[in-house]
Structure 1
Amino acid sequence: EVRVATIRYQLSFLGSQPWPDGRTPAEVLLAIREHVVKLMREQYQTWNEELKPSLAAEGIRFLSREEWNAKQRRWLHHFFHEELMPVLSPLGLGPAHPFPRILNKSLNVAVALKGKDAFGREADLALVRAPRSLPRLVRLPRAVASGDHDVVLLSAILQDFVDDLFPGMKIKGVYPFRVTRNSELMVDEFDVDNLAHALKDELLDRGFARAVRLEITDTCPKTLGHFLLEHFELGEDDMYRVNGPVNLNRVGAVYDMVDRPDLKYRPFQPRVQTAKTGGTVFDMVREGDVLLHHPFDSFSVVIDMLKHAAADPDVLAIKQTLYRTGRRSVLVDALIEAARAGKDVTVVVELRARFDEAANIDLADRLQEAGVQVVYGVVSYKTHAKMLLIVRRENGKPKRYVHLG
Structure 2
Amino acid sequence: MFNKEQNFLNRELSWLKFNERVLNEANSLTKPLLERLKFVAITSSNLDEFFMIRVAGLKQQVEMGITKKDDAGLNAAEQLSLIDQSVRKLVQKKYRFLKKIMTCMETENIFFTTVEGLSTSGREWMDNYFHNIIYPLLTPLAINASHPFPLLANRSLNLVVSLTRGVEESQIAIVPVPSVLPRIVEVPDQGVGKTFVFLEDIITSYCSYLFFGYVVKEVIPFRITRNADLLIDGEGAEDLLVEVEKSLRQRKRGEAVRLEIGKTRKNFLKDFLLDVFKIAGQDVYEISGRIDVSCFMKVTDVIGYDHLRYKPMIPQIPMELKDVKNLFDVIREKDILLHHPYESFAPIVDFIRQASVDPGVLAIKQTLYRVSGNSSIVEALIKAAENGKQVTVVVEVRARFDEENNILWARRLEEAGCHVIYGVVGLKVHGKMALVIRQEGSCMRRYIHMGTGNYNDTTARLYSDLSLFTADKEIGADASEFFNMILGCSVPTSWRKLVVAPHGLRKRLKALIDREIEFAEAGKGGHIIAKMNSLLDKEVILKLYEASSKGVKIELIVRGICSLIPGIEGVSHNITVRSVIGRFLEHHRILYFANGGNSDVYLSSADWMKRNLSERVELLFPIGDQKNIERVKNMLEIMLKDNRKAYIMKNDGNYQHAFSRGKTINSQEELCREAESRSCVLT
TM-score (norm 1): 0.94
Residues 333-364 of structure 1: per-residue CA shift (max 9 Å, x gap): 11111112111111111111001112222222
**Is the Cα–Cα contact under 8 Å of residues 93 and 123 in structure 1 kept in the other structure?**
no
8 A Cα contact 2:363 2:437, kept in partner: yes
- Correspondence for 2:275: 230
The aligned runs of 1:327-366 (5 Å cut-off) are 327-366=373-412
Whether the aligned pair in 1 keeps the contact of 2:114 and 2:202 (CA below 8 Å) is no
Deviation of 1:396 (Å)? 1.8
The one-letter amino acid of 1:60's match is I
Task: Determine if contact 1:276/1:284 at 8 Å carries over to the other structure.
Answer: no
1:78 aligns with 2:148: no
1:88/1:129 contact within 8 Å kept: yes
CA–CA separation in structure 2 for the residues paired with 1:278 and 1:73: 58
Task: Single out whichever of 312-321 and 361-370 deviates more from structure 2.
Answer: 361-370
Cα separation, 2, equivalents of 1:30 and 1:182 = 18
1:183 corresponds to 2:228: yes
Q: Which amino acid aligns with 1:129?
A: P
Counterpart residue number, 1:242? 287
Is the Cα–Cα contact under 8 Å of residues 149 and 258 in structure 1 kept in the other structure? no
Whether 1:325 and 2:371 are equivalent positions in the alignment is yes
Alignment partners' CA distance in 2, 1:104 and 1:157: 22
The corresponding residue for 2:678 is none
The 3 A distance-change label for structure 1 pair 276 and 366 is: closer
1:16 maps to which of 64, 67, 71: 67
TM-score by length of structure 2 reads 0.57
Q: Is the 8 A contact 2:122 2:188 kept in 1?
A: no
Mean Cα displacement is larger for which, 177-186 or 333-342?
A: 333-342
Aligned residue for 1:2, secondary structure, equals: helix
2-structure distance, mates of 1:255, 1:276:
33
Q: Matched residue of 1:230: which SS?
A: helix
- Tell me whether 1:301 sits opposite 2:352 in the alignment: no
Measured after TM superposition, the shift of residue 287 of structure 1 is: 2.5
- Counterpart of 1:271 (choices 316, 325, 328) is 316
Aligned residue-pair number? 399
SS in 1 for 2:129: helix
Could you report, residue by residue, the CA deviation over 1:101-128 in whole angstroms, capped at 9, with x for unpaired residues?
1111001000111116xxx986511110
**Alignment-derived partner of residue 90 in structure 1:** 140
Equivalent of 1:131, from 165, 178, 194? 178
Q: SS at the partner of 2:247?
A: helix
CA-CA distance at 1:257 after TM superposition: 2.8
Deviation at 1:379, TM superposition (A): 3.0
Cα RMSD between the aligned structures? Answer: 1.8
Contact 2:240 2:425 in 1 (8 A): no
User: 1:113 and 2:163 equivalent?
Assistant: yes
The answer for the alignment partner of 2:613 in structure 1 is none
Aligned-residue offset at 1:222: 1.8
CA spacing shift, 1:20–1:278, aligned 2, 3 Å: closer
Identity among equivalent pairs (%): 39
| In the alignment, structure 1 residue 148 sits paired with structure 2 residue 210 | no
SS in 1 for 2:89: helix
| C-alpha distance after superposition, 1:191-242 (max 9, x if no partner) | 2211111111111221111111000111263222121111111100110011
Change (3 A) 1:78 1:122: farther
**Alpha-carbon contact 2:364-2:434 (below 8 Å) kept:** yes
What is the alpha-carbon distance in structure 1 between the residues aligned to residue 180 and residue 168 of structure 2?
Answer: 31
Residue 253 (structure 2) aligns with: 208
Deviation at 1:277? 8.2
Distance in 1, matches of 2:292 and 2:160, equals 15
Task: Please tell me the residue identity of whatever aligns with 1:140.
Answer: V
Alpha-carbon distance in 2 for matches of 1:166, 1:51: 37
Letter in 1 for 2:186: R
Q: Any unmatched runs of 5+ in structure 1?
A: none
- Asked if structure 2 preserves the Cα contact closer than 8 Å seen for 1:92 and 1:123, the reply is no
Q: Please list every run of 5 or more consecutive structure 2 residues that lacks an aligned counterpart in the other structure.
A: 1-51, 452-683
Instruction: Confirm or deny: 8 A CA contact 1:94 1:123 kept in the other structure.
Output: no
Which residue pairs with 2:110 in the alignment? Answer: 60
- Counterpart residue number, 1:256: 301
Give the CA deviation at 1:98. Answer: 0.9
Residue 357 of structure 2, aligned match among 307, 311, 320: 311
Once residues 42 and 279 of structure 1 are traced to their aligned partners in structure 2, the CA distance between those partners, rounded to angstroms, is 52
